[in-house]
Structure formats: structure tokens, C-alpha cells
Amino acid sequence: MNLFSYLRESRGLANTVKRLLAIASRFGVTSRRMENALRTFTAITRRYGCQPTLAATAVLLERYPGVFRRLSTEAELAVHGYVHTDYSLLDGEEQSQHMGQALKAFRAIGLQPDGFRAPYLRWNTASVQTAQHYRMTYGSNRCLHWDVLPAEGINPAARAAYEKGLLLYGSRPASQYPSLPSLVHGLLDIPASEPDDEAMVDRLALSPAERIAVWQAMLQATYERGELLTLILHHERVLLCADALEALLRQARLHRPGVWIAPLRDIADWWLRRSQLRLAIECIGEGCFQVVPPCSDGVAVLVRDAETQPAGSAWYGRWRLAPPGTFALHSRQVPVLSLSSQNDALRSYLEEEGFIVQGPDSGGLRIDGFDDFREEDKRPLLDYIEASDAALVRLARWPGGARSALSVTGDIDAMTLLDFLRRPLEV
């Protein structure tokens, strides 16, 4: 797939020429305009004490090495293809060749990228195997969309254009799937969140105030669930969405408990480390347990509907932050999950979520069913645990007891009008 067929497929032929012209008009003849856009982007993130992850098409690093070398001091750079093509149409050997060339371009400016995002979020199993072969730590290629559009005022053609885009990205509703990293064919995938800037500006034609409201609603939804918002903002629309980005980061910084704002590399490192850690529990008397947290930086423990000694502190909803180190927990019920099935995938998932998982007779919250545990079972399972009235103890998902996480990301597909026009020819 190239840019033209992407636009035609995702927007319909009628709008394609119009949209191509609108997008092309944002680029300059030289790279100066986009360099300024990137400076504006990183100036905003710097103001809020964070770094974005920018996935760049590697051929651009060959064309503008100085720009990307400078950018790498302000942002994590990830791979967005060697060229901007649909990698789901290429076989393993072709993808391996492209990735090899991409990494060479990164190495030429002294960078060793940790992750990749496929152009158009289009990938296949070979894309993941290729990334693993090159020892990358993560991908950010699945897509989840949040139900946050304004209730009124979006015309049916704009909504159809947006939905076509979601279809093309293979996007799934965040109401049904947790927005959290997980292994996909053995590689950690950090799902991207829609609507992005392109959807808001070019497909849905939202007003500036609506763009702010949409991203705030996404932050709020991830915060309420303790999940991750992986925002996508392309540098060519930074000026159009700067207010929405600022408002989002300001809001994120105001939350208590906090929102952990980090580049994808840090999210991946944390997730891989944290999901290996386990809480230990021992019954030391009638209704009294000793809880021993793993010894690891940044790890926090949460307790629900049970007293602790020393006392913990208020956190979010029914959950409290446990005191640091080993503590005593008082509860008539054992604060663990009692699994009736022998399903390894289910057990691992719950343990990776930070719960203590024991057998069916352990006296904890019973988890029945889910014999054939699948991706679509995760959201109902988490909802069931959250809604139950059981006493529980778990490891917090995010470092330092943050409630949710936010990663600001962007894809750099072109730096000049010429790059933009060349894209369809580069397959």
C-alpha cells in the first residue's frame, strides 16, 4: 500500500485529492518548517517534564542526519519503517532487509532504537519476528479507540471517514480490551490510542475546543481504569493540536495519585520488569497475613477492603497504598484470587497484573470459568475483580503508585514536501 491507496481506501476517492492537498500544504520546500514543528513539540513536552517517542521513517535519518541527531536529545526515536510502506504486504525476508537498512541509518547517527511502529499501523507476524530478530524490546502497533467523540455536530461523512481509518488500522474498542502492554507473538506491544491528531483534524474536522475535550476524555477514561494512554500526534499537525497537547499534559500533571508520563521505551522496560515481580503472602494468625513485596525500585503495593499495619494511605477509589516494605494485613477473607481452572494463560495474566493467585480452596476471591482464556476475556475479568467486594492486595501497575500512564508519541513520515510526494514511490 502507498499513501494514495491508503487515502483512497480509508477516505474514499472523492476526498482523496482534497485531503492530499491539505496535508501537502503543511510541509515546506525545505525541512525548516517541520524542524520548527518538532521544536514546538519538544518544547511543550519539556515544559511538562517529559519526553515523547517519535517513530521516524529511517530514510529521513539518511536525508537529515543533523535534524535527527539533535532531536534524539529531546525525544526517544523509534523505527517507523525504512520507507513509509504497508509492511503487512511484505514477507519476512523483505521486512528483515528493510529493518536492517533502517537500523543502519539509526546507527549512522549513533542511535540504537528499542522499538518500532509500523506505517499505517499495518503489520503481520513477520514484522514482530523481524523486530525480535533485531533484538528490539517493544512494538506499538495494535490500536484501541475510545468512545469520546462529541455527541452532536459530526456529519455522517466525517464519521464514516474516521471509521474507515479505524478499520484500516484494525482498531478495537477500548471498552472491550484493556489499554495495557501485552505480549504479541512474544514481543511486548504497547497499544496506540485513537482518535489521534489526523482523525481529529483531517477526518472528523473537530473544532479546537472539541480536540481539547476529546483528548481530555481519553485521559480521564484511562485514569479511571488505571490504564495507558498512548497518544499519537504527527509533527505536521503540532501547531493545530498544540493547545490540546498542552491541556492534556497540564491535566495529567494535576492528578493525584499521579499519571506516569514516559516515552514508550521506559513504559516497555517497566512493564517487562514489573510483570515478573510477585508478592508473597503468609498467614501468621487468625485473619492476619504478612505481605512481603518484591525488592525492586518503584514498586508500590495496593490494598483493598482490609486494614494494614503500619497504616497505608488513601489512593484511588476503594484502593489504599500499602506502607513501604513488609506489612501485616488484617482481613477475614484471604486477599488472593482463588483459581478453579488449571489454565496457565489465565494464571500468568493475573499474576502479571500483580495479584496473588492460589488454588480453588485458598479462601480468596473465586475466579471460575475462563477455561479457554483469550484476549477478549481480559476486560470482563478485570471488571469482575474490580466490582467484587473481596479484600485484595496487589502490585500497582505503574511505578511510584501512579494511577495511570501516558505516553506522547508521534510518527515522522516526511520532513519536506518532496519527502511527502516521494512516499508513494518508496515501496
We find the least distance from the C-beta atom of residue 131 to Zn ion, in angstroms, to be 17
Q: What letter represents residue 325's amino acid?
A: G
C-alpha distances in angstroms, 152 versus 148, 149, 197, 206, 358?
12, 8, 19, 11, 49
Q: Is residue 165 near Zn ion by the rule CB under 5 A?
A: no
Question: What's the rounded Cα separation, in Å, for the pair 130 and 343?
Answer: 30
Q: DSSP characters for 306-371? A: SEEES--EEEETTEEEPPSSSEEEE-SS-SSEEE-S--HHHHHHHHHTTB-EE-TTSSSEEE---S
We find the least distance from the C-beta atom of residue 413 to Zn ion, in angstroms, to be 4
Residue 232 or residue 367: which is nearer to Zn ion going by CB?
A: 232
Contact window for Zn ion (CB under 5 A) among 115-123, 171-179, 185-193, 270-278: 115-123
Residue 144 or residue 414: which is nearer to Zn ion going by CB?
A: 414
Contact window for Zn ion (CB under 5 A) among 112-120, 253-261, 298-306, 370-378: 112-120
Instruction: Indicate which single residue of 52, 119, 364, 401 sits in contact with Zn ion (rule: CB under 5 A).
Output: 119
We find the least distance from the C-beta atom of residue 123 to Zn ion, in angstroms, to be 12
Q: Where are the alpha helices (DSSP H) in 169-292?
A: 197-198, 208-225, 238-254, 264-274
We find the least distance from the C-beta atom of residue 87 to Zn ion, in angstroms, to be 11
The interface mask with Zn ion, positions 354-393, x = CB under 5 A, is ----------------------------------------
Which contacts (CB < 8 Å, 24+ apart) does range 203-209 have? Answer: 203/11, 203/158, 203/161, 203/162, 203/165, 204/149, 204/154, 204/158, 204/159, 204/161, 204/162, 205/158, 206/150, 206/154, 208/240, 208/243, 208/244
Residue 226 or residue 410: which is nearer to Zn ion going by CB?
A: 410
We find the least distance from the C-beta atom of residue 243 to Zn ion, in angstroms, to be 23
The interface mask with Zn ion, positions 64-103, x = CB under 5 A, is ----------------------------------------
Closest of 165, 123, 117 to residue 412, by C-alpha = 117
Q: DSSP characters for 12-42? A: -HHHHHHHHHHHHTTS-SSTHHHHHHHHHHH
Residues 242-261 touching Zn ion, rule: CB under 5 A, are none
Residue 119 or residue 178: which is nearer to Zn ion going by CB?
A: 119
We find the least distance from the C-beta atom of residue 146 to Zn ion, in angstroms, to be 20
Residue 101 or residue 358: which is nearer to Zn ion going by CB?
A: 101
The interface mask with Zn ion, positions 398-427, x = CB under 5 A, is -------------x-x--------------
We find the least distance from the C-beta atom of residue 80 to Zn ion, in angstroms, to be 6
Closest of 50, 130, 57, 27 to residue 411, by C-alpha = 57
By CB under 5 A, name the binding residues for Zn ion: 119, 411, 413
